[in-house]
Structure 1
Amino acid sequence: MSCLWMSCWNVVTNVCCHTVLVVKPELKTQTALQECERSFSAFTSAFQQQHKIKRWLVAHSGGVDSQLLLYLTKKCLSDLPIIVIHINHHLQADSCDWGRFSVQQAENLGLQAIIIDLELPSSSENAARKARYAAFTNIITPGDCLLQGHHGDDQAETLLFRMLRGSGLKGMLGIPLQRRLADGHLLRPLLDLTRTQIERAVETIGLDYIDDPSNAEDAYDRNYLRLHVLPLLRQRWPDLARRWRENTERLSEAHNLLEHYLASDLALCSDGQAKLSISAWKTLLPLRRPEVLRYWVSLHTGINLNKVQLRQVQTDLIEAAVDSNPVFTRKGLEIRRFKEHLYLLPEQEEVAPEVPFLCSPRQELVDGVLEIKGKVPVELFSGAVIRRRQGGERCRPQGITQSKKVKKMLQDAGIEPWHRERWPLIYVGEQLAAVPGICICQGFAEENAGFSLLWHPFSLSDNV
């Protein structure tokens, strides 16, 4: 029996020794590079089967993840044009050096590089992120795909941060692998990899990279989680990235199911426009009402209202008197009530008190488009200007014997109060010549001229 035991012990010892040899550091790095290449190729190949891509844009900061991203893009996707994009936030003293580093890396691979300089209103993470994506949006054209180097550790950090912030179900879906971005697409082909895998792969290739010193400052919430909290979690649960990924997959399934039911509920309250019937909304179960309201706003604007904001909309708008004109304002968005409906509107911009009337078929203003049907008698509108309603205006429509209040004509036409307040009027000198969409005033329409003026205020989908 003892001989058998010793024989088994020798086998186990030999196997253990053999295992130690397999995971030597240099072999680990080689294996990591192979894993990174396989994962990258799998994601990008599947993506190209679904979308027709004409050009790859590589977001390149110079960090370890973006260096691997650039290397793999050049190696695996060089059949299409590749452009390297570096965003300079000007938040660090060495930021210009980082831009030059990105350009050098691109030139080493024979690629074009573009540096975009940003002027940020503040140094906050949120301000930098918004400005960065606005810059990407401005350069993306149809058929472009922007590649970013987010990895599995970034995903864990994001999910933990959002959980602590109290994000809802949609926020807990984490960083998406892919999504639409302006006229193109955004793809994160390293999202299934860990930072350790990426660092080992870069070590194997022998690439230099930039280590942003701000990443070591734990005053930022996300840095604090990355530096102090996540390492402790990984000690306890080494496969943390896998656990997060499985959770996000389950949450995504739950989110898709919820949106399926919310879409059915919303169809009872809205015809697909940025307008919601309050009476129909009230027929829903109380538990479903705030979620339908949240879904409606998000569907048209991408903005997710929190619980406090949803309660404010219900209290200040839905429960307001029918004849009141309340408004809920959030940056980039207004929600207004008119009679028995809620309306989603873009945040109103300042308008010039007076601009020339061009007599052209289409004249775009800051908040809408003035359209001419037919031929304008130019001699009658020589020197005409566009002004906004001030209140008290009257005119005598062509073919009518008595003058009418402009406000009353707009009301009779069913124009919403917020549009009535800013309705454009055409003046020749100090005389009101036309109320677009309503009438041409007496004396400014030649007999049988057959022309009309229309006003199309920008909708939320145009501006938000």
Structure 2
Amino acid sequence: MSLLEHLERQISGLSPSHLPSLHFVVAYSAGIDSHVLLHALWKLQQVKKTPFTLSAIYIHHGLSENADLWQQHCADVCAGLNVEFASAKVTLDLSNGKGIEAQARDARYAKLVEMAPTDSIVMLAQHQDDQLETVLLQLKRGAGPKGLSGMDTYFTSAKPGASQQNVHFFRPLLDISQQQIQHYAKEQSLVWQEDESNQNTDFERNFIRRDVAPLLNERWPHIAQSVARSAKLCAEQQALLDEVSLEKLQPLRKPNNTLCVKGLLALTEAWRIQVVRLWLDEQNILSPSQAILSQLSNELLLSAQDATPIIQWQSWQFRRFEEALYVITVPKDVKSCSTVLSLSKKYELPLSLGSVELVSAQHLADNKPFLAIDGSDNSPELGKITLSFGGFSRRFTPHNSPHSKPLKQWFKQWHIAPWERCHIAVISQNERIVGLLRKGAFLPSQHSADLRARGDFAYGLCYSGE
């Protein structure tokens, strides 16, 4: 079967029933693989009259001095084919410790999701030899069946900030060899660009492509097909595993996207790890290593009730609170500090938590949260108004409570997780707590609430959102 016939069959297998129409967006890099995919799709339009809309996007990573040339090449090719073309630059932070390959890939996919029209299908040009490289890399990393499934043929990503708007990704050439792609390019007299970084074997994938795969193909000419078949079998097994894991996960769900610790402990160790992996996958969180997941039971789930254990990997943490397992981004702590507030002077809260401003009553906006502050027109002396973080041993009498307790006791009673407490601002007047500010909402003291109810205040502390 020719590459064109294979591509036509792949497209015919797509069901447009859930899509308004078929709009293919080729992720075009100027290299041979994506150029062949673009040209073959264009040819299906012209010769086979296959009904779909075709466009292309080039992502400029800024890693090569030739990137501008490649972008222009893509634009020229698309102009020659009368295919709509767009491009965008992404910025990589090479100092964050993440590999260049991984960072470039993540930035590229994020930008494609952002730019591609809703419900379009982004066509990716990875082929059978790329799948071989992927599986070998996963073997090197000690992956299980999910990793050994290699690259998915089809997957969907939500557009940022729009949960109901999706972009679909499709790899129609995963059963096509690099040799078939080169044959098509030669047959159609295509001209493409070579990325000089492909020669750098410091990159793991290039090392496999240049030094390892040729040896494997020389000894076993059909190794790529065999590995692709194994990847599909692993994907099928993983799908079955996920199906059963989901059944075990459902009864463990608790509010705030947490899991029941008691229910997790009732599972065997193997199922516990599998269920947690699935839970993380649902949130698009890269699972930690098997070694880290193996620590989960003894170091966190079975820890003492009053303990606050933390298991951390990359930018994530497992935390336990009130018999629930949480996964959170590594929190940025606000150090204990205190600031004296001045009238009509805006104060920016740390960590972009918003801002507050002490103003007179006539300047209070109805649509903004505010905390009533003691004082009147006849006696405008406010005393010392402070905003602080930390110091949770101080006593506080909240609205609708006759009792005073240390703040840490109220936090426990209000079920506020330990990692959230340092973000709560404490507002005091002459050393007495008059209110708290948490997640953009004021919790007044009984005294402050009474002032507001009577309208017996001349000042208010206003909050502007995060």
- If the TM-score is normalised by the length of the shorter chain, which range does it land in? 0.7 to 0.9
Structure 1 76/428 Cα, relative in aligned 2: closer, same or farther at 3 Å?
Answer: farther
Is 1:206 the counterpart of 2:189 in the alignment? Answer: yes
Counterpart-to-counterpart distance in 1, 2:125 and 2:372:
61
CA contact (8 A) 2:333 2:423 kept: no
Cα deviation for residue 399 of structure 1 reads 5.1
Counterpart-to-counterpart distance in 2, 1:42 and 1:430:
75
Which deviates more from structure 2 when the two are superposed, residues 379-388 or residues 44-53? 379-388
Cα deviation for residue 186 of structure 1 reads 0.9
CA contact (8 A) 2:198 2:206 kept: yes
Is 1:396 the counterpart of 2:397 in the alignment? Answer: yes
The one-letter code matched in structure 2 to 1:440 is P
The 3-state SS of whatever aligns with 2:59 is strand
Alignment of 1:22-37 (within 5 A): 35-37=2-4
Alpha-carbon displacement from aligned partner over 1:386-425 (angstroms, at most 9, x marks no partner): 8655534544334555544333222112222222232355
**Structure 2: gaps spanning 5 or more residues:** 160-166, 343-350, 357-365, 375-381, 456-462
Cα deviation for residue 304 of structure 1 reads 1.9
The 3-state SS of whatever aligns with 1:447 is helix
| 2:93 alignment partner in structure 1 | 121
CA contact (8 A) 1:65 1:150 kept: yes
The 3-state SS of whatever aligns with 2:70 is helix
Which deviates more from structure 2 when the two are superposed, residues 217-226 or residues 268-277? 268-277
CA contact (8 A) 1:55 1:144 kept: yes
Cα deviation for residue 173 of structure 1 reads 0.4
Aligned counterpart in structure 2 of residue 133 of structure 1, from 104, 109, 117:
109
Cα deviation for residue 377 of structure 1 reads 8.3
The 3-state SS of whatever aligns with 2:2 is helix
The 3-state SS of whatever aligns with 1:443 is helix
CA contact (8 A) 1:58 1:147 kept: yes
Is 1:159 the counterpart of 2:126 in the alignment? Answer: no
Counterpart-to-counterpart distance in 1, 2:409 and 2:131:
57
Aligned counterpart in structure 2 of residue 447 of structure 1, from 433, 437, 453:
453
Alignment of 1:330-345 (within 5 A): 330-345=313-328
Is 1:197 the counterpart of 2:180 in the alignment? Answer: yes
Counterpart-to-counterpart distance in 2, 1:71 and 1:115:
18
CA contact (8 A) 2:265 2:297 kept: no
The one-letter code matched in structure 2 to 1:406 is L
| 1:288 alignment partner in structure 2 | 271
CA contact (8 A) 1:68 1:202 kept: yes
| 1:24 alignment partner in structure 2 | none
Structure 1 125/239 Cα, relative in aligned 2: closer, same or farther at 3 Å?
Answer: same
Aligned length: 410
The 3-state SS of whatever aligns with 1:146 is strand
Cα deviation for residue 236 of structure 1 reads 3.1
The 3-state SS of whatever aligns with 2:448 is coil
| 1:359 alignment partner in structure 2 | none
Counterpart-to-counterpart distance in 2, 1:429 and 1:66:
68
Cα deviation for residue 95 of structure 1 reads 2.0
The one-letter code matched in structure 2 to 1:46 is G
Aligned counterpart in structure 2 of residue 172 of structure 1, from 148, 167, 177:
148
Is 1:68 the counterpart of 2:51 in the alignment? Answer: no
**Structure 1: gaps spanning 5 or more residues:** 1-33, 357-364, 450-454, 459-464
Structure 1 375/120 Cα, relative in aligned 2: closer, same or farther at 3 Å?
Answer: closer
Alpha-carbon displacement from aligned partner over 1:175-195 (angstroms, at most 9, x marks no partner): 111101233111112222111
Aligned counterpart in structure 2 of residue 45 of structure 1, from 12, 21, 25:
12
Counterpart-to-counterpart distance in 2, 1:39 and 1:367:
54
Is 1:96 the counterpart of 2:102 in the alignment? Answer: no
Alpha-carbon displacement from aligned partner over 1:189-243 (angstroms, at most 9, x marks no partner): 2222111111111111111011222222333221122122222222333233321
Q: RMSD of the TM alignment (CA)?
A: 3.8
Counterpart-to-counterpart distance in 2, 1:254 and 1:81:
35
Which deviates more from structure 2 when the two are superposed, residues 168-177 or residues 180-189? 180-189
The 3-state SS of whatever aligns with 1:288 is helix
The one-letter code matched in structure 2 to 1:96 is D
Counterpart-to-counterpart distance in 2, 1:45 and 1:387:
63
The 3-state SS of whatever aligns with 1:170 is helix
The 3-state SS of whatever aligns with 1:121 is coil
Alignment of 1:162-311 (within 5 A): 162-183=138-159, 184-271=167-254, 274-311=257-294
Structure 1 400/302 Cα, relative in aligned 2: closer, same or farther at 3 Å?
Answer: closer
Alpha-carbon displacement from aligned partner over 1:237-275 (angstroms, at most 9, x marks no partner): 323332122212221221122222222332343348632
The 3-state SS of whatever aligns with 1:87 is strand
| 2:25 alignment partner in structure 1 | 57
Cα deviation for residue 88 of structure 1 reads 2.0
Cα deviation for residue 165 of structure 1 reads 2.0
CA contact (8 A) 1:268 1:281 kept: no
The 3-state SS of whatever aligns with 1:159 is helix
CA contact (8 A) 1:178 1:185 kept: yes
Counterpart-to-counterpart distance in 1, 2:386 and 2:189:
66
Alpha-carbon displacement from aligned partner over 1:293-318 (angstroms, at most 9, x marks no partner): 33333333432221111123333212
| 2:125 alignment partner in structure 1 | 149
Which deviates more from structure 2 when the two are superposed, residues 418-427 or residues 182-191? 418-427
Counterpart-to-counterpart distance in 1, 2:292 and 2:9:
42
The 3-state SS of whatever aligns with 2:11 is helix
| 2:418 alignment partner in structure 1 | 417
Normalised by the length of structure 1, the TM-score is: 0.76
Cα deviation for residue 142 of structure 1 reads 2.3
CA contact (8 A) 1:274 1:300 kept: no
Structure 1 331/386 Cα, relative in aligned 2: closer, same or farther at 3 Å?
Answer: farther
Give the share of equivalent positions with the same residue, in percent: 24
